[in-house]
Amino acid sequence: MSEFIQLVVAGLTTGSFYALVALGYTMVYGIVRLINFAHGDIFMVGAFIGWTVLTAVAASHMPWGIGLLLALILAMLLTGGIGVVIERFAYQPLLSAPPLSILITALGVSIALENGVLLIFGAGFNTYPHLIGSEGFMLGGAHITNIQVGIIVLSFLLMGGLYLFVHHTFIGTAMRALAVDRDAARLMGINVERVIQITFFLGSSLAAVAGVMEGLYYTEINFFMGFVVGLRAFTAAVLGGIGNIPGAMAGGLLIGLLEAFSAGYISSRWTDVIVFLVLIGTLVIKPTGLFGERVVERM
Amino acid sequence: MIKPILYAGLPLLMTLGGAAAFADTIKIGVPVPLSGPYASAGVDVLNAAKLAAADINASGGVLGKQIEILGEDDACDAQQGVQAAQKLVDAGVAAVAGGYCSGAALPELTALHRAGIPYILDASTNPKLTQLGFNNVFRTIGRDDQQGPFAAAFMANYLKAKKVAVIDDNTVYSKGLADNTVAGLKKLGIDVVYYDAVTPGQMDYSAVLSHVASLGPDVIDYTGYFAEAGLMAKEAAALHLAPKLMGGDATDDPTLIKTAGMAANGWMATCAPLPQFLTGAKDFVTNFTKAYNTAPGPYSVYEYDAVEIAAKTIKSAGSTDPATLIAALHKVTDYPGLTGNITFNSVGDRAVASYITVIVKDEAWAPYVKQTPAGQWVPVQ
Amino acid sequence: MQGLLNRPISAAGIVALAVAAILPFFCHNYIVDVALTIVTYGILALGLNIVVGYAGLLDLGYAAFFAIGAYTTALLETLLNFNFWETIPFSLLFAGISGIIIGYPTLRLRSDYLAIVTLGFGEIVRIIATNLDITGGPNGIYGINPANLLGHDLTSPKSVYALGLVFLVCVLILVIRLGRSRLGRAWTSLREDENAAEAVGVPTLRVKMLAYVIGALIGGLGGSLFAARFGTIDPSSFTYAQSVSILIIVVLGGRGSIPGVLLGAIIIAGLPEALRFLNLWREFVFAIALILLMLVRPQGLWPARLRHIAPPSAEDAHATPHAEVAEQIAETTAGEPDVLLEARDVSRVFGGLKAVSNVNFTVHRGEILSIIGPNGAGKTTVFNCLTGVIPPSAGAIIWNGKPLAKLAPHKVVARGLARTFQGIRLFDNLTVFENVLVGMDHRFHVSLASEMLALSYARRETHLHHAAGRNWLEFVGLTAQAGLRAGDLPYGDQRRLEIARALAGQPQLLLLDEPAAGMNPTEKQSLMGLIRRIRDLGTTVLLIEHDMLLVMGVSDRVIVMDRGQVIASGSPSEVQSNPRVIEAYLGAGEDEDEDSLAAVSEGAVA
């Protein structure tokens, strides 16, 4: 029983990271029908910006609480900005080109981000300062740390906030309108380019939060860290039904749990196979993912 | 640890490579990953080669000529590895000393074998490389099947473990070491309660660790690399796990301590005697750190020995002819290298490979124990 | 192959191959090794090009087939002492089977979902190879023997290069022939518009599967070559990054374009080599170059050209037996009963909405029957039920006296029901002539193999079809435009081409969905004439139309639908004076679009 609880907590923790990153995939896909392969690397860039800020804070005798907040805010703003810049220069000119061209551009952006960070920060591992210890409490025989609870709670707050934003604000409504029909949205007076930029900004900021949290929790970051998380998050987004926000959250948590259970009860070496088989099985039974809307097409 | 290399190492590499190209030199090729995820390890190896060449050239070179290091990027990839090797052959190297990933080293070795050029490996511990029957392969590092039994003996005899869990990361090196460790443990009658692989890069190993801990091992031995080892040390502490933690030589890295912080204390690793703990290698560490503004990597010292052996053998053989050189290399006995005395056996492996253990104390690596020829465990001085 | 020499690009290609062939005689081994890597990538990219370029399906796990070929060769050589040549059939077999395995679950998925499923498949194959003992785990397999030819081991870079070049030429011939076959045409139609392809008789599921399988075969062949070249393989050669590189070659070079794909292979395999001096900057510079190239040339560096098939001359076409349009139609209608089609109590429910309820009507051979009714009356839903796009919820459709039970649309076409679409759905990037040919390809009887080998009876049939297709273009007045890109035609011509494409399938019944929409009065006038001429050929016409002038002028009978039900039927004059009809048209002023509502809630076609 204690092992089971331990696995659930581990799964929810990693699942929270996946879910936050998956939101970016799903929002961008919903609006511009692009699988943004660079999104995992955006997450990595967020982690590095957070690291840079915290390293500077460490040198300046600033209180850690303020430093942490500063790191989070700066990482969100800068990463969001990078997301917008990438959209503006690499994706926007290709929005009306064949979908595969923009996909290849996204792959190019991914390689460029990874190697850009490698050139600036080096190929090795950088480590976050050990700000948060492993204090915690016992629950049903399992050890749970405070930071795990913090990560899960913060992720849920952010996901809930995003859901409210998309459903209860003007910009959120505009985003949903774009997702249904970009041209119609434009005719209704929506500034389509602006809404797409806001989408990229939000998605990248959420990934940055995940990046900083990952840095704080696991402490080690490197230029390649976005690959595994990006792949998992992309899987999560598709499993939940790409384009669907609650689907991405559920998909992320589900993948996290699946990963923990397969590592705990089967074998970590088969984790990826199990995750992909579950995904393929789900899509065969329900081709649009767990929460995906049916596709609209008229003959 | 890695960052300064870029600023210090890279320009140096380019200027050295460019300036020496016109002189009449003896060329030694170094195929290592210079791009991709293993680039930093490759740079550490290449820098050691350059340092060795600089030292040799400062004392007059070999056969009246300067040694020139030609670094080529193999990106840890089979196709690029072959192309790198072929490029070195075409450039007229007398010998090749380097390599990092077995996946690239093997095709490189095949290409060099065809060209009849000796290949002295500095980092590939996989036994297969010297079992192919090629006469042109040598290595300055020990093999997995030499380290594995040592690790097993350490756990059984020194740590007095009754039950052991072995985890690898499904890479060539890690699996090889784990296989040999498990075989050693079984020979000593130790109960291996868990032997399986994790997927590197997954960050969260708490699921595996809590499962492993539930099987009640006295020691958990992770044969993978330091990045995951650091995470495991940290996560095991958060889970309040009882078993002792240890790893192979690839966990012996400062990053493990940076990642795990206090939780790293008590982590043990088996490794070849590192330059830091070798009296003869103190100068190497100082010089390397001065030249590249960073401490040497785990394989730097083996590369230094590999280049030195190549140069010294060219000198003693009086020729850069590859066939003569291969024959001469097979005769190397008790060469006093930084990593101890080197004798190549008939297949090109080191006849005697010695190992020690190290431990993290107060968030720093410290020498721990070694085995005397009589089998006693004594502290490393 | 003589045709090849008549065209400058083909001639240039042969010159390029000749240069490649003599390369080893004056180059260092290093260059030869790089060239061999380019050749390997070229083979792989030509295989992936079938999936991505020809058929328009995304595949992010292509390295899996490469791996399966390589492991098959390696295992058979090391465990069972096969020689290289003996392993190749097995490599192809296992790669082909895995193509079916990957293809099957993905057939019904949207293309974006294919990305992750194929990626997952690629990773699964790699992880299995890493985890199993028989495949050597992470160590892989050592000691694979090189290929042996006439007693000589092909080990030197030059000899392996020669072998690779021979493989490349074989693959090139295969993909060129495939691209020009009717299967190639079917793939292109699939890429252009999957639903329209299905509706004109292309068996889309089978065609997709064939794309995966043939792509997989080529990947497997590349894998065998790879294993023989290196003598050792391990899972790190078959990563996701490898799949991505191959995909980049295809898209950067130009999807569906063979010279483009080869150019892409040269760039992707060669550029990193040329950039070696950059060391750590290499990948970064490569990535930036890739982004810039895609921005400047989104269609690829060397985009695929329009495939041109010249229609036979008018004299030739008319002189060909069985190629006249009237003959073609007569072939299918002979001996069939007078009642062509009967809808019995057909209903269709979307969610809780009854789009069509208990519709009954009969279509007699040789008549022009119109279905009219306000928007949302359920007319298009009736069409979709008749043509197999959606199954009716209840009721039966009787075709020539036999029930038409839940057949896929392409099978319905083969039975003799052809349709056009409300919004024009042509294959824009095919020529006008090829659009018509796609419509008649399901009538082909010769096997694909004999077509690709250009056997004489296959050539005869091809000629007959070309002649017949040309005559259909003449029938709708588009012979002069035969070589144009279909997407470039003016609106009215596109409508007529769509009708010609449907007619080319020899239908007994042609269903036209609002053919006059957006036409000017002159065009409508000529459309009326065309509809009558179609009927005069012997093809029955079922028409949905809003334009009352056209409906009343051309129809023999009219059925009126409102809110999913038939409210009246009879001759045009009877219907016009029916009070219920007048009420439906004048009283029901609302413009709700039930069909589209229904489609939203049910996902009619996906």
pLDDT in tens, C321-379: 888 877 888 777 777 778 889 889 999 988 778 888 889 999 998 899 999 988 888 88
pLDDT at A261 over 70: yes
Domain boundaries, chain B: 3-142+277-342, 145-271+355-379
Of B73, B172, B174, the CB nearest to C276: B73
pLDDT at C134 over 50: yes
pLDDT in tens, C225-273: 999 988 888 898 898 989 999 999 999 899 899 999 999 999 988 887 7
Q: B touches which chains (3+ CB pairs under 8 A)?
A: A, C
Cα distance between residue B263 and residue B282, in whole Å:
29
Are the beta carbons of C247 and A93 separated by less than 8 Å? no
Site from A125, A219, A228 to mutate, B interface, most B CB atoms within 10 angstroms: A125
pLDDT for C600 equals 33
Q: Which of C41, C115, C284, C287 has the alpha carbon at shortest distance from A107?
A: C287
pLDDT for A293 equals 64
Contact in structure between A51 and A128 (CB atoms under 8 Å) = yes
Residues of B in contact with C246 (CB under 8 A): none
Instruction: Give backbone dihedrals phi and psi of B65, rounded to 5 degrees, phi first.
Output: -120, 160
Burial class (CB in 10 A: 0-12, 13-18, 19+), B235: buried
pLDDT for C548 equals 87
Q: Collect contacts of C399-406 with beta carbons under 8 A, ≥24 apart.
A: C399/C340, C399/C341, C400/C336, C400/C337, C400/C340, C400/C341, C400/C508, C401/C337, C401/C339
pLDDT at C424 over 50: yes
The full set of domains in chain C, from first to last, is: 34-239 (no CATH), 318-602 (3.40.50.300)
CA distances from B177 to B127, B148, B256 (A): 10, 5, 19
pLDDT at C4 over 80: no
Task: Give residues with Cβ within 8 angstroms of C3, minimum separation 6.
Answer: none
- Across the range C1-22, mean pLDDT stands at 71
- Which of residues 28 through 67 in chain C touch B, CB cutoff 8 A? 28-30, 33-34, 37, 40
- Across the range B51-73, mean pLDDT stands at 90
Cα distance between residue A273 and residue C61, in whole Å:
14
Q: How far is C243 from chain B (nearest CA, A)?
A: 14
pLDDT at B16 over 70: no
pLDDT at B168 over 80: yes
Instruction: Give the orientation angle of helix A245-261 with respect to helix A225-240, to 10 degrees.
Output: 120
Band (B8; pLDDT cuts 50, 70, 90): very low
B254, closest residue in chain A (CA to CA): A125
pLDDT for B188 equals 94
3-state helix, strand, coil in chain A (%, to 5): 75, 5, 20
pLDDT at A294 over 70: no
Task: Give residues with Cβ within 8 angstroms of B72, minimum separation 6.
Answer: B29, B30, B31, B32, B34, B84, B85, B87, B88, C276
- Chain B residues with CB under 8 Å of a chain A CB are 1-3, 5-6, 35, 37-40, 43, 170, 196-199, 201-208, 210-211, 214, 227, 230-231, 234, 237-240, 255, 258-263
Cα distance between residue B221 and residue B318, in whole Å:
47
Are the beta carbons of A3 and B211 separated by less than 8 Å? yes
pLDDT in tens, B319-339: 888 889 999 999 888 888 888
pLDDT for C447 equals 80
Are the beta carbons of B110 and C230 separated by less than 8 Å? yes
Contact in structure between A32 and A42 (CB atoms under 8 Å) = no
3-state helix, strand, coil in chain B (%, to 5): 45, 20, 35
Count of CA atoms in the C-beta half-sphere (13 A) of C483: 7
- Across the range C537-564, mean pLDDT stands at 90
Taking each continuous run of H as one helix and of E as one strand, the counts in chain A are 11, 4
CA dihedral C228, C229, C232, C238 (to 10 degrees): -100
Task: Indicate the average pLDDT of chain C.
Answer: 86
Band (B22; pLDDT cuts 50, 70, 90): very low
Of A35, A104, A119, the CB nearest to C284: A119
Predicted ipTM?
Answer: 0.90
pLDDT for A1 equals 64
pLDDT at B20 over 60: no
pLDDT for B1 equals 32
User: What is the CB neighbour count within 10 angstroms for residue C521?
Assistant: 9
- Greatest Cα pair distance, chain C, in angstroms, is 92
CA distances from C302 to C9, C251, C256, C261 (A): 12, 10, 10, 8
CA distances from C567 to C132, C384, C397 (A): 68, 20, 19
Residue located via tokens 């930071």: A147
User: What is the CB neighbour count within 10 angstroms for residue A180?
Assistant: 12
A33 interface with B at CB cutoff 8 Å: no
Site from B16, B82, B117 to mutate, C interface, most C CB atoms within 10 angstroms: B82
Identity at C150, one-letter amino acid code: L
Task: Give residues with Cβ within 8 angstroms of B374, minimum separation 6.
Answer: none
If you classify domain B145-271+355-379 with CATH, what class do you get?
A: alpha beta
Band (C587; pLDDT cuts 50, 70, 90): low
Task: Give residues with Cβ within 8 angstroms of B37, minimum separation 6.
Answer: A123, A223, A224, B76
Site from C26, C33, C238 to mutate, B interface, most B CB atoms within 10 angstroms: C33
Are the beta carbons of C33 and B82 separated by less than 8 Å? yes
Instruction: Give backbone dihedrals phi and psi of C91, rounded to 5 degrees, phi first.
Output: -55, -45
Lowest mean pLDDT among A258-272, B125-139, C522-536: B125-139
- Across the range B367-376, mean pLDDT stands at 86
Task: Indicate the average pLDDT of chain A.
Answer: 89
Q: What does the DSSP 8-state code read for residue C232?
A: -
pLDDT at A181 over 80: yes
Of C37, C140, C279, the CB nearest to B35: C279
Q: A touches which chains (3+ CB pairs under 8 A)?
A: B, C
Cα distance between residue C300 and residue C248, in whole Å:
10
Q: Which fold has domain B3-142+277-342?
A: Rossmann fold (3.40.50)
Cα distance between residue C223 and residue B243, in whole Å:
45
Domains B3-142+277-342 and B145-271+355-379 share a fold: yes
Helix (H) or strand (E) holding C433: helix C432-440
C603 interface with A at CB cutoff 8 Å: yes
Identity at B350, one-letter amino acid code: R
Band (A164; pLDDT cuts 50, 70, 90): very high
Q: Helix, strand, or coil here: B364?
A: strand
pLDDT at A78 over 90: yes
b/e code A66-81 from CB counts within 10 Å (16+ = b): ebbebbbebbbebbbe
B88, closest residue in chain C (CA to CA): C30
- Across the range B31-36, mean pLDDT stands at 85
**Of C155 and B98, which is predicted with more confidence?**
B98
pLDDT at B2 over 60: no
Q: How far is A145 from chain C (nearest CA, A)?
A: 32
**Of A183 and B189, which is predicted with more confidence?**
B189
CA distances from C198 to A95, B210, C104, C336 (A): 28, 54, 18, 25
Cα distance between residue A14 and residue B231, in whole Å:
14
Task: Give residues with Cβ within 8 angstroms of C26, minimum separation 6.
Answer: none
Of C119, C195, C298, the CB nearest to A98: C298
Of A35, A276, A296, the CB nearest to C120: A276
C137 interface with B at CB cutoff 8 Å: yes
Burial class (CB in 10 A: 0-12, 13-18, 19+), A241: buried
Q: Which of C105, C122, C120 has the alpha carbon at shortest distance from C48?
A: C122
Task: Give residues with Cβ within 8 angstroms of C154, minimum separation 6.
Answer: C146, C147, C148, C160, C162, C163, C228
Cα distance between residue C92 and residue C211, in whole Å:
14
Of A35, A115, A275, the CB nearest to C287: A115
DSSP conformation letters of B236-270: HHHTT--SEEEE-GGG-SHHHHHHHGGGGTT-EEE
CB pairs below 8 Å between A and B: how many? 123
pLDDT for A39 equals 96
Site from C48, C280, C284, C544 to mutate, A interface, most A CB atoms within 10 angstroms: C284
b/e code C320-348 from CB counts within 10 Å (16+ = b): beebbbeebbeebbeeeeeebbbbbebbb
- Greatest Cα pair distance, chain B, in angstroms, is 65
Residues of B in contact with A44 (CB under 8 A): none
Of C37, C234, C280, the CB nearest to B10: C280
Cα distance between residue A156 and residue B112, in whole Å:
57
What is chain C's alpha carbon radius of gyration, rounded to the nearest angstrom? Answer: 28
pLDDT for C7 equals 66
Identity at A138, one-letter amino acid code: M
Residues of A in contact with B264 (CB under 8 A): none
Contact in structure between C409 and C597 (CB atoms under 8 Å) = no
Q: What does the DSSP 8-state code read for residue C486?
A: G
Q: Are strands C148-149 and B377-379 parallel, antiparallel or unpaired?
A: unpaired
**Of B155 and B132, which is predicted with more confidence?**
B155
b/e code C273-293 from CB counts within 10 Å (16+ = b): bebbebbbbbbbebbbbbbeb
pLDDT at B179 over 90: yes
Q: What does the DSSP 8-state code read for residue B156?
A: I
Q: Helix, strand, or coil here: C132?
A: coil
- Which of residues 6 through 65 in chain C touch A, CB cutoff 8 A? 52, 58
pLDDT for B3 equals 34
Q: C touches which chains (3+ CB pairs under 8 A)?
A: A, B
User: What is the CB neighbour count within 10 angstroms for residue A189?
Assistant: 7
DSSP conformation letters of A204-263: HHHHHHHHHHHHHHH-EE-TTHHHHHHHHHHHHHHHH-TT-HHHHHHHHHHHHHHHHHII
Task: Indicate the average pLDDT of chain B.
Answer: 85
Domain boundaries, chain A: 2-130+137-224
Are the beta carbons of A271 and B202 separated by less than 8 Å? yes
CA distances from C487 to C54, C347, C497, C523 (A): 18, 36, 11, 19
pTM: 0.88
Q: How far is C145 from chain B (nearest CA, A)?
A: 12
Are the beta carbons of C280 and B6 separated by less than 8 Å? yes
Of C123, C280, C605, the CB nearest to A299: C605
pLDDT in tens, B246-297: 999 888 888 899 899 999 999 999 987 766 666 667 788 888 888 988 888 8
pLDDT in tens, C29-58: 888 888 999 999 999 999 999 999 999 888
Of A118, A273, A279, the CB nearest to C127: A273
Q: Which ranges in chain B belong to alpha helices (H)?
A: 3-20, 39-58, 78-90, 102-115, 144-153, 172-187, 206-214, 226-238, 254-260, 282-292, 300-317, 322-330
Band (B373; pLDDT cuts 50, 70, 90): confident
